[in-house]
Amino acid sequence: MLTAGESKAALQLVIGAALTTSTALLERASGAPEQQRALLLEAAPEVIAYYSVGSAALAADFYDDAREVAAPPRLYLAEPVVIDRTEKIRRAVAWASEPLFTEAPSEAGARLAEVIQLETARPYRDTILTNRRRDPSAVGWRRIARGAKSCKFCRMLADRGAVYSDSTARFSAHGHCGCTAQPVFSTDDFGEEASVMQYMASKKRRTPEQQAKLREYLNTHYSLGGAGVQTSAASKAKIAGPSPADVASRLKAQLASLETSLPALKIRAANGESVSAPIKWQTERIAELKRQLRA
């Protein structure tokens, strides 16, 4: 069974593969800036769509694993969620392409990477939050940040293992955000409800007054290099990492599951079904699991 940290690491592999593909795409682009932009507008959404399948499937697996550990009384099976954002992605790619028309065309690569990273991770978060709303046994979700490596905004949103129980709570993410979400169930130790400030920071739109208040709060409590609000002893115990033996056991279980289901996917492909994306992701994940178990 995947832990939050293991699932986050697997998501980074999916995002890394998407970034590698997009970088190669930009390097192959040639001709006038208009031609390069046209190529990116056509191909970048397809790259994102391809890897979004793996991102959403990974989140669904993690959701089911977390649910199995919590053992709520009612049955539920998570479904991958990939929302069609083609037009929004094309607008973002158009923005990423703007440096191609300037004296600093190399900046297009950094912008494109930001779009690819954000949009490839989005189905993972959408899958967790959508299934949390559908699942009658789920009571909310936690934000899983990267610890000290996270920006002060992300650290504040994740602090104290805060649980967002409001079904309308958004997952705020910025470019190159490395945060993920973890479902919380009625049989879990609920922990601390997200604060008024954390909910406000999660809003899609904030008034100038709210924005100023949030900026002041972050600068006061989450200055650069600061640790933010201290995590409680109970929260620290809850997020403690698993033992090496536990990790190995979970990796082996996931490997066995993937190796068992892969032949069925290949049969579906042979019958004409469009399942090449999950086959590729599953094959790469199997190879990565084997590498981790050998390490």
Task: Give the span between the Cα atoms of 133 and 16, in whole angstroms.
Answer: 29
**Is 106 found in the same domain as 216?**
yes
**Domain's final residue, options 241, 256, 285:** 241
Beta-carbon-side half-sphere exposure of residue 165 (alpha carbons within 13 Å): 11
Q: Which range marks the domain in which residue 49 is found?
A: 4-241
**Is 266 found in the same domain as 196?**
no
Output the pLDDT for position 240.
Answer: 42
Output the pLDDT for position 167.
Answer: 83
Residue 172 exposed, middle or buried by CB count within 10 Å (0-12, 13-18, 19+): middle
**Is 264 found in the same domain as 128?**
no
193 three-class SS: strand
Contact residues for 204 (Cβ-Cβ < 8 A; gap 6+): 170, 172
Tens of pLDDT along the chain (295 residues)? 778 888 888 999 999 999 999 888 888 888 899 999 999 999 999 999 999 999 999 999 999 999 998 888 889 999 999 999 999 999 999 999 999 999 899 899 999 999 999 999 999 999 999 999 999 999 999 999 877 678 889 999 999 888 999 888 899 888 888 899 999 997 556 778 899 999 998 888 889 999 999 989 888 888 654 445 444 444 443 434 445 665 676 667 667 766 776 787 688 788 887 667 667 767 877 887 788 888 7
Q: Residue 183's beta-bridge partner residues?
A: 141
**Is 186 found in the same domain as 142?**
yes
Output the pLDDT for position 246.
Answer: 59
41 three-class SS: helix
Output the pLDDT for position 243.
Answer: 58
Q: Residue 140's beta-bridge partner residues?
A: 184
Task: Give the span between the Cα atoms of 283 and 269, in whole angstroms.
Answer: 14
**Is 191 found in the same domain as 277?**
no
Output the pLDDT for position 191.
Answer: 75
**Is 63 found in the same domain as 148?**
yes
Output the pLDDT for position 270.
Answer: 83
**Domain's final residue, options 218, 241, 264:** 241
**Is 151 found in the same domain as 120?**
yes
If one counts the domains in the chain, the total is: 2
**Is 130 found in the same domain as 72?**
yes
**Is 279 found in the same domain as 208?**
no
202 three-class SS: coil
Output the pLDDT for position 84.
Answer: 92
Task: Give the span between the Cα atoms of 289 and 282, in whole angstroms.
Answer: 10
Output the pLDDT for position 82.
Answer: 94
